[in-house]
Structure 1
Amino acid sequence: MADPSSYRPQPGQIPDSPGVYRFRDEHRRVIYVGKAKSLRQRLANYFQDVAGLHPRTATMVTTAASVEWTVVSTEVEALQLEYSWIKEYDPRFNVKYRDDKSYPSLAVTLNEEYPRVQVMRGPKKKGVRYFGPYAHAWAIRETVDLMLRVFPVRTCSAGVFKRSAQIGRPCLLGYIGKCSAPCVGRVTPEEHRELAEDFCDFMAGRTGAYLSRLEQEMRIAAEDMEYEKAARLRDDIGALRRAMEKNAVVLADATDADLIAVAEDELEAAVQIFHVRGGRVRGQRGWVTDKVEAVDTAGLVEHALQQLYGEEQGEAVPKEVLVPALPEDTPALAQWLAGRRGSQVSLRIPQRGDKKALMETVHRNAQQSLALHKTKRAGDLTTRSRALEEIAEALELDGAPLRIECFDISHLQGDDVVASMVVFEDGLARKSEYRRFQIKGRVGDTQVWHGEGQDDVRSMHEVVSRRFRRYLLEKSRTGEWDPQDGEDGPPEDDGKPKRFAYPPQLVVVDGGRPQVAAARRALDELGIDDVAVCGLAKRLEEVWLPGEDDPVVLPRTSEGLYLLQRVRDEAHRFAIQYQRSKRGKRLKSGPLDEVPGLGESRKQALVKHFGSVKKLRQATIDQICEVPGIGRKTAETVAAALARAVPAGPAVNTATGEIIEDENPAPAGASSERGTEQ
């Protein structure tokens, strides 16, 4: 890994101008492209102390071996050049959205003499008008089938068209009236192009004028007693209305807008886009990306805008783009979008009304897309097998770890220290095997009940020791039962497998070298040497092994790393859930709960004003009355209730404003370990 100071530019060498910069590795490959209003200020951020950088940024600057830049005149030029370079170099540390080409679009080939309506995938071509994209190709075909009655545009391939022209006989669609049969000269090229342009206008949302024109023609035909023509026009109008019903009105005033929503976690993000034209949802697409760079929601939106409109021109860029967060360079982006459209484009966050409601719908779709992506990736048997093989190879195990147990510690500023154990078998979560622990803080044979002073390392040692002592006890079915090891009593010899009877092949701990060392020490003290141990550190997603000075770095795209991350994140979620439930139960027993008519808002206001329940108990009635919303009668009731309450050591979580009462020591042998089936 390179030292960033080895290739840091000299002071004053970097210009204080807008521009685009590229980081290259030792092989001269571009690994990151970025833009800046001021190159000097932006690049200076990369060359500070590596320990103070975001973990992903630190990985990038230590992978790079050189940096270069190009000065441009404006921020818009910087945006355009950044997009071009990302597309050209495909840098590994830039956000890249996937799955865009899997969405089909309805295309009209206006670049041909006889335009053709067809389903198209892949990159867009010049001279082709696109509508969509759609979620499924069959949805396009249904729409086209309804529209061909009114707009009998060619849909056949070049081979079929040429064959029909040679034999002088149209295809079936020409006989049933769903094609104007330009192949045999029923219409001129000009008339056929006019049909195609009318088709495009209708699909673009300009439906009202066309329907009004057809209705007028129908009335004229009826007045002239041309009833067959009137009936045909009536059926055409019905077909168009059925096609329109497939895209319900979602925004009034025939709004043209694209709505972009983002759902994300620490590792991946899903972007969902709804294309609204004429107030109707005309298309939808979604992308998924790995968060390989330090990027927030606004940054994800900026990358999505670049990819979405980088190749678009004219009306393909709507008048309005609605986003969940505004990028840092919003004015430059709006100017760039306006340049691609040819007129002003509004880039904003919806605040109220129908647009905000529709944005919430788009966001729900993004959340479902991210969940589905993770489910598909985790549910594939081949992928899971490859992940287990990669873990075994990276950790030098004798075989694939078919059972993995992961431990995590959770607490709130040293209080309510708990631990979780989650189990994955054959790469899938085994939720009936999950366990949760209340940390007692053992020091030898002494119990320390208070969470204060207990760090994650000692807690990890304790929970791993308790889990594997129970395993040894149930394995031997002999020996004395320690009440501190669980709530279920000594094991019974009934022939059924016990809760902790199955040993894992791999123990994963949430943390780095100290936590791994604590877990390994706990196993060594119990004489267990056939269970591997590793840790996954959140900072750089590094895998730590006992006794090793350097971590094992799995590739960012490794399925093995992805499985370890899922295991670690699930243990973290389960521990947080238990810790919050314990805290919630304890909050209900606070002395302020005994005050009649005192709601949660006023409770929090009181504790926030005085800093703790202890200081509130020492306050006078006049001082309590100074709190907004507290009258004298209520103050007297609060003072009386606190005077009756048994003094404890209350506190307040200043981050959330939640009332936190000190927990009284629990009696020895109290329930400390509980299986949870979700």
Structure 2
Amino acid sequence: MADPSSYRPKTGEIPTQPGVYRFRDPSGRVVYVGKAKNLRSRLNSYFANPAQLSTKTYTMVHTASSVEWTVVGSELEALQLEYTWIKEYSPRFNIVFRDDKTYPYLAITMGDKYPRALVMRGDKLPGTKYFGPFYPAKAIRETLDTVLRVFPIRSCSRGIFNRAERAGRPCLMGYIGKCSAPCVGRVSEEEHRKLAEDLVQFMASDGSKFIRELEAKMAAAAKVMDYESAARLRDEIAALRRVFERNAVVLDDSTEADIFAVAEDELEAAVQVFHVRHGRIRGQRGWVVEKVEDAAPEDFIEHLLQQVYGEMDDADRIPREVLVPTLPANEADVTQWLRDLRGSAVSLRVPQRGEKAILMETVRENAVQALALHKSRRSGDITVRSQGIQELQENLGLAEPPLRIECFDISHVSGTNVVASMVVVEDGLPKKSEYRKFKITGDAARDDTASMYDVISRRFQHYLADLSANEEQASGQISVEEARQAPAKKFAYPPSLVVVDGGPPQVSAAVAALADLGIMDMPVIGLAKRLEEVWVPEDPFPVIFPRASAGLYLLQRIRDEAHRFAITFHRERRAKSMISSVLDDIPGLGAAKRQALLKHFGSVKKIRAASLEELLAVPGFGPKLAANVHERVAQSNAGEAEEETESAQEISE
């Protein structure tokens, strides 16, 4: 890895104007593109103290070997140039929203002699009317199939049309009534164009005008007892209504908006967008991206809008309203950029209340579900799991595949309520029945390394005890009753790999604990959160896995699960200690009264907020006991702000 100081430009050489900069690696490839209102200030932030940079930025500046910049006239120009370069170079440390599909639209080729209806993706063509976007593509194909019953314009390709014209026989669509067959002269060019214009008008409105006209014709046919025509018109009315039933009306008919929402964790982010046209949800699109770039929420939204709308060659696809969960940092420039692309006004805002805010919450829930589905599919894919296990064996030099992995994590707040977790993964899948919790007290709770030594020692002492018990058992047949009475072996199975959450100190503590127990052949590694580095015993340099490595993903998933399990146990311990510290030792408050108090209010938090009158309403509480509880709880409320601060610190542990 390169030393950033080796290619740091002199401060005086960097201009203070707006501009765009590029970091390049030793091979000359662009690894990151960014923009700045003040180039000198922004670039100096990368080199002032690299050790204090966030994880991904630290990796980026050590991967690069040079930086270059271009001065532009304004922040708006910087926004445009940054997008151009990201699209051109696809830098590995920039978030890139990739989708394997473009928008599906219902297109009507009004520029043709005989207009054609079809489903199209990609760039728009001149002389063609587009409606949508629709998602999934199946929905638009069903819509097309339905409207052709009422507006039977051609949907065949030019080759099929010419072949039918030469043969004098229509294709299948002509025979089943879903095409008026202009190829064989059943309708004139003018009549066919009128059908196409009616279809365009129908798709551009809510269809009520056409449905009313058909209802009037149906009534007239029924009046003269032409029941066959009335039945046909009835079916056409039902078909047209189904077209709009598929797209639920959620907002006012005049609403045209794209509504974005984001769900994220430390490694990935899921983005969902609903396309609302004429008040209806006409389409949905989503991405799951790797967070290779340390971007604040406002920067993430800026990059998202940049790439989603920057790729649209047709300004008609940009709606009048763009609703986002967070406004970009340079809202005015992004709004102006969108206006320039669209050629008319664009409103960029965060919905605060009303129907649009409710719909955004629905979009956010879709993003949450998309992220969860992405992770479950990746972890549930047997091919990915097998690849991850194989990569761990190869990169760590293990004698056998790590089919059973145990991961240990320590959780505490400022050294209090120290706990640890052990999670188990077998064949790449979590085995929750084997998860274990540890309480850590005394000298073992003085720091993370002592805690790790204690936890590893206790876990493998149990393993040695179970192993010894198994050796003492005589071979032979046993009955079902004897098998049921046999004690459960909680720690009987040794892991193929021990993973600790941390770097070299935690790895050394785990190795020392195993050595003191006489276990010398147990592979141990540490996964450090800061740079996702894998540390092995007695090696001054970490093992670096590729970012897209299935092995690294498996380790990250195990580490995150251990962290979640430890945090959950720690919170349980804290909650119990809070109850104990608040309600214990109150004169006159025994176990029964304490239970009645908790049952009445439901939580310590509600007890703290209770007035003296509310405490008197608890069954069995008199004035003296209520006053004692109220006084004691009031004293504990003074430390509530400190507890909230510690809770925030706990999340970062």
- Whether these two folds match at TM > 0.5 is yes
- Structure 2 vs 1, CA of residues 69 and 180 (structure 1 numbering), >3 Å: closer, same or farther? farther
C-alpha distance in 1 between matches for 2:189 and 2:3? 66
Q: Which of 524, 528, 550 is the aligned partner of 2:541?
A: 550
Aligned-residue offset at 1:656? 1.5
Matches within 5 A, 1:8-157: 8-101=8-101, 104-109=104-109, 113-120=113-120, 123-127=122-126, 130-157=130-157
SS in 2 for 1:251: coil
Q: Which is richer in helix? A: 2
Q: For each residue in 1:540-578, what CA deviation from the matched residue of structure 2 results, as whole angstroms up to 9, or x when unmatched?
A: 111111111111110111111111100000001111111
Structure 1 residue 22: Cα displacement: 1.5
Note the C-alpha offset of 1:257.
1.0
* Secondary structure class of the residue paired with 2:561: helix
Which segment is superposed worse, 635-644 or 546-555? 635-644
Of the three residues 502, 511, 534, the one matched with 2:493 is 502
1:459 corresponding residue in structure 2: 451
Residue pairs, 1:457-606, within 5 angstroms: 457-477=449-469, 498-591=489-582
Please state how far the C-alpha of 1:278 moved relative to its aligned partner: 1.1
Offset, 1:114: 4.3
Q: Post-superposition shift, 1:396?
A: 0.9
* CA displacement 1:6-57 (0-9 Å, x = unmatched): 2222223333223222111111111111222222322222222111111101
> How far apart, in 2, do the equivalents of 1:592 and 1:659 lie?
21
Aligned CA distance change for structure 1 residues 388 and 133 (closer, same or farther; 3 Å): farther
Distance 2:31 2:646 in 1: 45
- Within the alignment, does 1:402 sit opposite 2:393 as a pair? no
Report the counterpart of residue 664 of structure 1 in structure 2: none
- Partners of 1:84 and 1:648 lie apart in 2 by 58
Query: Matched residue of 2:260: which SS?
Result: strand
Contact 2:11 2:40 in 1 (8 A): no
C-alpha contact (below 8 Å) 1:256/1:318 kept by paired residues: yes
Offset at residue 87 of structure 1 (A):
1.3
Q: Is the 8 A contact 1:403 1:424 kept in 2?
A: yes
Which residue number corresponds to residue 373 of structure 2? 372
Query: CA offsets per residue over residues 153-193 of structure 1, 9 Å max, x none?
Result: 32223332232222122112122321232333445666655
Shift, 1:110, TM fit = 5.4
Q: CA deviation at 1:639?
A: 6.5
1:381 aligns with 2:382: yes
Q: Indicate conservation of the 8 Å contact 1:427/1:563, yes or no.
A: yes
Q: 1:379 offset after TM fit, Å?
A: 1.1
> Would you say the 8 A contact 1:134–1:285 is kept in 2?
no
Separation (CA, whole Å) in 2 of partners of 1:433 and 1:116: 63
**Structure 2, gaps ≥5 residues long:** 473-482, 616-621, 649-653
> Matched residues in 1 for 2:50 and 2:345: separation?
42
Q: Is the 8 A contact 1:100 1:285 kept in 2?
A: no
* Segment drifting more, 198-207 vs 466-475: 198-207
Q: Deviations over 1:282-314 (max 9, x none)?
A: 011111100000023333322222222123333
Equivalent residues of 2:104, 2:120 under 8 A apart: yes
The CA deviation at 1:342 is 1.9
Shift in alpha-carbon separation, 1:209–1:475, aligned structure 2, 3 A = same
Q: Distance in 1 between matches of 2:388 and 2:380?
A: 12
Distance 1:343 1:650, change over 3 A: closer
Q: In 2, distance between residues paired with 1:655 and 1:648?
A: 10
Contact 1:133/1:285 (<8 A) preserved = no
Change in CA separation of 1:130 and 1:215 when aligned onto 2, cut-off 3 Å: same
Q: For residues 623 and 352 of structure 2, what CA distance do their matches in structure 1 show? A: 40
Give the whole-Å Cα distance in 2 for the aligned partners of 1:464 and 1:638. 47
Q: Which amino acid aligns with 2:346?
A: V
Contact 1:20 1:36 in 2 (8 A): yes
For 1:341 and 1:222, how far apart are their aligned partners in 2? Answer: 49
Q: 1:457 to 1:132 in 2, by over 3 A?
A: farther
Amino acid of the structure 1 residue aligned with 2:467: K
Q: Secondary structure at the match of 2:12?
A: coil
Taking a change above 3 Å as real, the CA distance of residues 367 and 109 of structure 1, as seen in their structure-2 partners, is: farther
CA contact (8 A) 2:11 2:44 kept: no
Secondary structure of 1:69's counterpart equals strand
Q: Secondary structure at the match of 1:269?
A: strand
Give the match for residue 173 of structure 1: 173
Partners of 2:196 and 2:66 in 1: CA distance:
53
The 8 Å contact of residues 250 and 280 in structure 1, kept in 2 or not, is answered as: yes
Equivalence for 2:249: 249
* Mapped partners of 1:332, 1:33: distance in 2: 18
Gaps of at least 5 residues in structure 1 are 444-450, 481-491, 607-623, 661-678
1:566-620 C-alpha deviation (Å, 9 max, x unpaired): 00000011111111111122222343586979986686679xxxxxxxxxxxxxx
2:643 and 2:262 map into 1 onto residues whose CA distance is: 26
Distance 2:628 2:487 in 1: 56
Q: Compute the TM-score of the two structures, normalised by the length of structure 2.
A: 0.85
Alignment-mate amino acid for residue 407 of structure 2 = C
Greater alpha carbon shift after TM alignment, 558-567 vs 198-207 = 198-207
Aligned equivalents of 2:338 and 2:526: distance in 1? 46
Residue matched to 1:618: none
Cα distance in 1 for residues equivalent to 2:105 and 2:643: 48
Structure 2 vs 1, CA of residues 180 and 310 (structure 1 numbering), >3 Å: closer, same or farther?
Answer: farther
DSSP-derived class of the 1:118 partner: strand
Number of the residue aligned with 1:654 = 642
2:273 aligns with 273
Does structure 2 conserve the Cα–Cα contact (< 8 Å) formed by 1:131 and 1:282? no
Q: Is the aligned partner of 1:431 residue 2:432? A: yes
Counterpart in the other structure of 1:300 = 300
Give the conservation status (yes or no) of the 8 Å contact 1:288–1:370. Answer: yes
- The aligned amino acid for 1:402 is L
- Provide the C-alpha distance between the structure 1 equivalents of 2:111 and 2:556, rounded to a whole number of angstroms: 49
Name the counterpart of 1:616: none
* CA distances 1:430-449 after superposition (whole Å, capped 9, x unpaired): 11111111112456xxxxxx
* Structure 1: distance between partners of 2:509 and 2:106: 60
Greater Cα shift, 636-645 or 287-296: 636-645
Secondary structure at 2:258 match in 1: strand
Are the structure 2 counterparts of residues 644 and 12 from structure 1 closer, same or farther at C-alpha, using a change threshold of 3 Å?
A: closer
- Paired with 1:79 and 1:113, the residues of 2 have a C-alpha distance of 43
1:326 and 2:327 correspond: yes
Q: How many Å separate the matches in 1 of 2:68 and 2:574?
A: 52
1:444-455 equivalent positions in 2, closer than 5 A:
451=445, 454-455=446-447
What does residue 164 of structure 2 align with? 164
SS where residue 519 of structure 1 aligns?
A: helix
Describe the SS at the equivalent of 2:251. Answer: coil
* C-alpha contact 2:582 2:636 (8 A) present in aligned 1: no
Superposition pairs for residues 337-348 of structure 1, below 5 Å? 337-348=338-349
Distance 1:572 1:252 in 2: 46
Matched, 1:413 2:405: no
Query: Equivalences for 1:172-211 in 2 at 5 Å?
Result: 172-187=172-187, 192=192, 195-196=195-196, 198-211=198-211
User: How many residues are matched?
Assistant: 616
Letter in 2 for 1:475: L
Tell me which moved more, 93-102 or 457-466: 93-102
> 1:575 and 1:140, CA in 2 relative to 1: closer, same or farther beyond 3 A?
same
In the alignment, what sits opposite 1:621?
A: none
Q: Compute the RMSD of aligned alpha carbons.
A: 3.6
| Closer, same or farther: CA 553–441 of 1 in aligned 2, 3 Å | farther
Residues 225 and 642 of structure 1: CA distance in aligned 2, closer, same or farther (over 3 Å): closer
Q: Does 1:315 align with 2:306?
A: no
Corresponding residue for residue 668 of structure 1: none
Q: Which residue type is aligned with residue 385 of structure 1?
A: S
Question: Conserved in 1, the CA contact under 8 Å of 2:498 and 2:524?
Answer: yes
Residues 59-68 or 69-78, more deviating: 69-78
